[in-house]
A and B are shown apart, each in its own frame.
Chain A
Amino acid sequence: MSAPVTRSAGTAAPNMPWTLVRLRWTLTNAALKTSPWQVVAYVLAYLLALGTVVGTGILAFAVGHGMAHDMWEYLPAVMPLAGTAGILFVALMQAMFIGENSTMSMDKFAPYGIPDRTLQLGLLLAGLTGIPAITALVGFMLWAMAYRGLGAAAVISQLVAAPLIVLTAMCVSKALLAVADIITDSQTGKNIFYVVVIMLFVVVAQMPNILMINEVSLDAATLAPIARVFGWLPLGAPFMLPFDAANGQWLFWLLHVLCALALCAVCFLISQWCLHWQRTHSSDAVRAKAAKGLGLFSRMPDSPSGAVSARLGSLLRRDARQSMMFIMPLFFVVIFALESKDTGSWFVWMGVLMGGMFMSLTESNGLAYDGQGFVMEVIAGTRAIDDRTGRVRVYLIIDTVYIALLSVVAFIITGDWSNPSGLATAFTFIAASWGWAVASLGVAELFNCSILYPVPSMAKPFTNPQGRGAAQAFLPLLYMLAEIACMLPTAIVAIILAATGHGDAYLWIIPVALANGVVFLCLGTWLGAKLLRTRMLKVVQTLDSFAALQQ
């Protein structure tokens, strides 16, 4: 009698966790084939990883060699604090940009009856064998050189701590994402979660600046008591191992290891529980969403481009993935306001200016956010210019209204409405912000039909198409360089005015910035339409391949 699962001699049962690791890399390699830009992005990501490793090595060597001897007293105070902030930063980054790989997500494996623990372990290992984790591991191991002055035990302890730190960061990130996936079972929940994560991210990222500007003392004596507390918290504990070893406090060493391992175990169990919960509960709070009438379709122009505008506007209102774009400019104003103590009110207006720059960031990949729905336009034979005009109309309205609102906020913060000089400064920045926003929009209309990269699916905004990380890191950077370049005419006029001693004539920047914005908007829309007309079917093909990555 043979049991159904009996295998032929010599065929061993597959090691499931390692099978998942192999699957991860197979999928990553497959993502490379979706577009040549993915290859470029990967090469740059690998170079970045290499640079991080080399940079860490050089810094560690310098610190350990005594070239930066004055840093030694800081190390016990800085490492647990910086380490904790770093792990939190990584977890928030994951939630905001990278997410759980959608192809490696648990629901894809549901039909195979893999035990929860095995599956969770496989997903964890798959994460640990990725380039970011390997880079971090090598970097932390090289950091051991920084502790040469503390003795061999400290160096060896850092080598032990390195995998522990990476494991802790990975477990915390996975647990955070798993919990996020469960608590955000409604669209509103997803939007709120996204906004909260981004707020935390910006605050964590800006904390050092805010502390410095507000003259909070960061000397070793001030930090030491805080660091001692954080050293006993699970995120900071693995960073204490070299110091415990250097001081011969082996009991503390052991307790710090246990502290970190306990957190990993708890995070693993949380992730496993979430996995079980997702399997046993409906994935969505199924409440049919109703909308009376035609909505935006009755308020946009009665034309194909109006249809595109109405559809895009409706989509943006319901798309958690793009919420970040709408919150980021406001955060710029708030952060710049916090940092404007010593610089004056113009710095708040810099926030409005920077906000303008970021308003079309997601539109630069707008067709990828539309997804395969874009095919409806192709089926209908919609003219490319109608698509571009429809899209531009929506963003033009958003940009204008948003910059007006930001300006009101900035006026309230600065009080610049009360004097002519303040008003002149304000309107110069407002004009420059609007000009930059619409010029960037023009650039975005060129980018989104030529350089696309995969995005998460709308249903699961916290998941990540396998292999998206590299592209997402690089391609928006390319777009930002282009939008900086497109404002060069305004920048040149500003520099000339300053250099020729006509700084007080800066009001001339207003018409230049407005004209600069309008010209690039028109140019971008027109060229974008020409490009889309020739690339329409290629775009459809690319979107199909992205959709396959999301599944």
Chain B
Amino acid sequence: MAMPPAMQPDPAMAVSIRGLFKRFGDKVAVNGLSLDIPTGSFYGLVGPNGAGKTTTINMLTGLLVPDGGVAMILGHNVWQDVNAAKRLIGLMPQPEQIFPTLTGMQLIVYAGMLRGMPRTEAAARAKDLIAAFDLSSAANIMVRDYSAGMTKKICLATAMIHSPRILVLDEPFESVDPVSSANIKDILVDYVRTGGTVVISSHVMALVERMCTHVAVVNHGQVVAAGTVGQVAAGEDLEERFLQLVGGRHGAAHIAWLDGGADGQAPPSAAASPQAPAGEVRR
């Protein structure tokens, strides 16, 4: 039976998802999620822990088979030809998903050659990426000896080596120092300017608000708001709007034994106000 037109994915979009569904045992992780990500956008995917962001990304990038729904990348149905879709995507691996006994240079070349790039081209691009990510002095050092931030940068480089049409990055700036972070942002902004699409999953609202053109708020496996950052924020601070959309914030509970150790005396403010009203806390 054909899908109703409203449920058809939009092939003109960089990413078009319709009714994506995934259940792990009794828990529904993604519950009929639908989303369109325009080509050339810098798209932020935000949501509380367990909202279904990573599951959605995994289903979108061919790492997890959905129980239902459609995911389309630049007009290609991901699960009809998963390897063709993967060639269009640059998914940043997590630090534990790389080989730490390779050097940074080897790891990037490995990522390039795996995608069928000629070795010379992969090596040349790897050099460019290493320079761009300020890793030149560590290029020939094993990744296991890198700091967390350097490892993150190498992971990002492995996702970019084949110049994908869409970059999918999960918390790309976590542990990265401010200077490198700024350099990476410049690279990503340039990439978007040339027609690339970046999808980032992040918990840092300030970053999403500053960098992204679009944002989707995911909660309980569904999109609760999506659009340009301005549309979703609706005139408010994005973080504040996010808290309103996903809820769950409550007044500071007084935990009797959590007293800072000052002879068992609770801090005066907490003692005076055992449960501050939610409104006050938010202010």
Contacts and interface: CB of A to CB of B under 8 A. Distances in A.
Interface of A: 1-4, 6, 286-295, 297-298, 302-304, 306-308, 310-311, 314-315, 318-319, 370, 372-373, 375-383, 458-459, 537, 540, 547
B62 interface: yes
A172 to B, nearest CB: 32
A382 to B, nearest CB: 5
A31 B138 CA distance: 38
B118 interface: yes
A3 B256 CA distance: 11
Interface stretch (B10-18, B90-98, B195-203, B219-227): B90-98
A227 to B, nearest CB: 48
Contacts of A378: 62-63
Given A290-B141, A458-B101, A310 B110 contact: yes
Given A376-B98, A380-B86, A537-B64, A304 B264 contact: no
Chain B interface extent, by class: 35 or more
Contacts of B158: 376
Nearest to A375: B97
B24 to A, nearest CB: 11
A490 to B, nearest CB: 37
A302 B257 contact: no
The 9 lowest CB-CB distance pairs between A and B, nearest first, are A381-B86, A307-B113, A381-B83, A288-B145, A380-B114, A375-B97, A373-B99, A289-B142, A302-B119
B241 interface: no
B145 to A, nearest CB: 4
Interface in B68-115: 82-87, 91, 93-94, 96-103, 105-106, 109-111, 113-115
Nearest to A386: B114
B114 to A, nearest CB: 4
Interface of B: 61-65, 82-87, 91, 93-94, 96-103, 105-106, 109-111, 113-116, 118-119, 123, 138, 140-142, 144-145, 158-159, 257, 259, 261, 263-264
A4 B115 contact: no
A1 B87 contact: no
B261 A4 contact: yes
Q: Of residues A298, A304, A318, A381, which shows the largest number of chain B Cβ atoms within 10 Å of its Cβ? A: A381
A308 B261 contact: no
Given A291-B142, A376-B110, A547 B96 contact: yes
Contacts of A377: 114
Given A3-B264, A4-B261, A537-B64, A318 B101 contact: yes
A302 B106 contact: no
5 contacts: A294-B119, A373-B99, A379-B63, A459-B144, A540-B63
A438 B64 CA distance: 34
A6 B62 CA distance: 51
B120 to A, nearest CB: 8
Given A297-B106, A304-B115, A290 B99 contact: no
Given A291-B103, A319-B101, 18 more contacts: A2-B264, A3-B264, A288-B145, A289-B144, A290-B103, A302-B119, A306-B113, A311-B106, A376-B114, A378-B62, A379-B91, A380-B86, A380-B115, A381-B84, A381-B115, A458-B101, A537-B65, A540-B63
A113 to B, nearest CB: 15
B20 to A, nearest CB: 16
Contact of A372 (B84, B86, B97, B110): B97
A380 B114 CA distance: 6
B106 A286 contact: no
Contacts of B257: 2, 4, 6
A61 B143 CA distance: 59
A304 B113 contact: yes
A136 B97 CA distance: 40
B123 A294 contact: yes
A314 B141 contact: no
B201 to A, nearest CB: 15
B113 A289 contact: no
Contact of A289 (B87, B91, B141, B261): B141
B145 A286 contact: yes
A381 to B, nearest CB: 3
Nearest to A370: B99
A295 B99 CA distance: 15
Contacts of A306: 113, 119
Contacts of B111: 376, 380
Contacts of B123: 294
Contacts of A373: 97-100
Contacts of B105: 293-294
A307 B101 contact: no
Given A314-B101, A373-B99, A380-B86, A295 B264 contact: no
Nearest to B257: A4
A10 B115 CA distance: 62
A303 B116 contact: yes
A245 B275 CA distance: 72
A1 B263 CA distance: 7
Contacts of B65: 537
Given A4-B259, A537-B65, A297 B141 contact: no
Given A294-B106, A295-B106, A376-B158, A304 B116 contact: yes
Given A288-B141, A293-B140, A302-B118, A307 B82 contact: no
A298 B140 contact: no
Contacts of B83: 381, 383
A518 to B, nearest CB: 27
A381 B81 CA distance: 10
